Amino acid sequence: MPLGLITAIGRVMRKKRTSSLNILTSKRGPRDYYKGKNCKPTGFHTRKGGYVIMDEKLPRYVVPDLTDFKLKAYVSQCARDVSGGSATSSTTESTNA
């Protein structure tokens, strides 16, 4: 009898399982659990299975006018060798100092 009481107290005092501290996903949650992808809904579902997109919930992106901007938006994957430029002379001076 006392042995059963001691094991019961040990079970109560035991820490949480480490498996319960893992990240909750839709595979590990209950059958009807849907986690989603952390994005905001753009509308709502209707009773008949349709989806209505609400214009005020759509994201609006503000893009500035870049007509006179000096830098380009694209950076080439193929880097060219710079010979005799000011960048190479400044790097050799800083390494010699």
Cβ contact 44:52 at 8 Å: yes
Q: What is the full per-residue pLDDT of the chain (97 aa) written as tens digits?
A: 566 666 666 666 665 566 556 777 778 788 877 777 778 889 999 999 999 999 999 989 998 888 888 887 777 788 777 776 555 455 555 555 5
To the nearest 10°, the Cα dihedral for 85, 89, 92, 93?
-160
